[in-house]
Structures are given as C-alpha cells and as structure tokens.
Amino acid sequence: MALYSWDQAWLQARETADAALCLLTIHHPMIETFRLVRNPVAITSRGDVYSPSYFDINVVNDNDQLPRATISIPGLGDVGRKINFELAKLVDPPEISIEVISSAHLDEPIYRAARLELRAIHIDELTISGELGRTDYGTETCGTIRVVPSKFPALFRRRG
C-alpha cells in the first residue's frame, strides 16, 4: 500500500470541500513586492499577506521547451492602479512567482513556478499583461567575460 501526502491525495480526489487558491508574487528591487491571491478575501500564507485580486494566468508549460506562460491583471481598482504605476517605472523585468495552495493548508504549496521574468509588458487603462518565462542561458554568447588571474584569482593555482 502506497502512502500519499495530503497534497497528492487532494490532487487525486474527485471532489473536495477545500478550494484551490492561486498566489501571485511580483518582486523587483526597485518597487515594493506585490502579493495577490485570486480570492474575494485576503489570506496569510507563510507570514505574508496576499491581497484579493482577480488575475488570469495560463499555467507554465511542462515540456522540453523553456517554461512559458501569459498573465493578465486588471488595471482597475486600488491594487491594479498601484501595480500599473509601479511597473511603468521599471526598465528591467520584474520577477514573478506562481503558487497554488489548498484553503485547508495555506502554508504548503501544491504547485510552484518561481523566478519567472515578466516580459513584453503591455499596460493600458484596463489591463496589465505580459509573458512569463525564464532566461535561456543556452543562447548567451560565449566568451563575453575574459577569465584572467587578476579577475578570478581562485581559478589559477600558483606553481612552486
């Protein structure tokens, strides 16, 4: 007999009284961190308060390609206007984390996609939208940093 954790049992259940809540965290060093929950009331998870807000997100793909998703947040309301204003000031992309939790276990994520970059941001009066993805380091050009003893002394051993 296999032993299941509560999250595996919750995912495999045909029906449950516990709701699935989607958490969204928007982080950038130049702006305040925004924590949103797709729920009509605020919740606290792992000591952080998540503000109620509607957002639409396509879940990150799970294939051989780089993780990708799209996101759309209404630009209306206090939270939407504040996010709209803060994102418009940024030059480089903010970092996004997506989590799904059960309403019965608020401190234990069932699903997590972290450290995604929000790119191709489109901001208008009604919505904030963009693409979520990770940096593809495989497409970076080789040899852009010269490895010399003055910059990387730990890589060079002295003989003698």
Question: Which one of 1-10, 27-36, 140-149 scores highest in mean pLDDT?
Answer: 27-36
Does 150 map to a domain? yes
pLDDT for 47 equals 93
The better pLDDT of the pair 115, 36 is held by 36
Share of the chain above pLDDT 70, in %: 74
Q: Chain-wide mean pLDDT for the chain?
A: 80
Q: What is the pTM of this model?
A: 0.72
Segment 9-13 shows an average pLDDT of: 61
Q: Which domain holds residue 46?
A: 18-155
Q: Do residues 94 and 118 touch, judged by C-beta distance below 8 A?
A: yes
Q: How many structural domains are present in the chain?
A: 1
Does 160 map to a domain? no
Share of the chain above pLDDT 90, in %: 16
Does 8 map to a domain? no
CATH value at residue 55: 2.30.110
pLDDT higher than threshold 50 for residue 1: no
pLDDT for 131 equals 87
Categorize the per-residue pLDDT at 92 as very low, low, confident or very high, splitting at 50, 70 and 90.
confident
Residue 123: C-alpha distances to residues 74, 91, 139 (Å): 10, 14, 28
pLDDT for 108 equals 86
**Residues 6 or more apart from 89 whose CB is under 8 A from it?**
30, 31
pLDDT higher than threshold 90 for residue 159: no
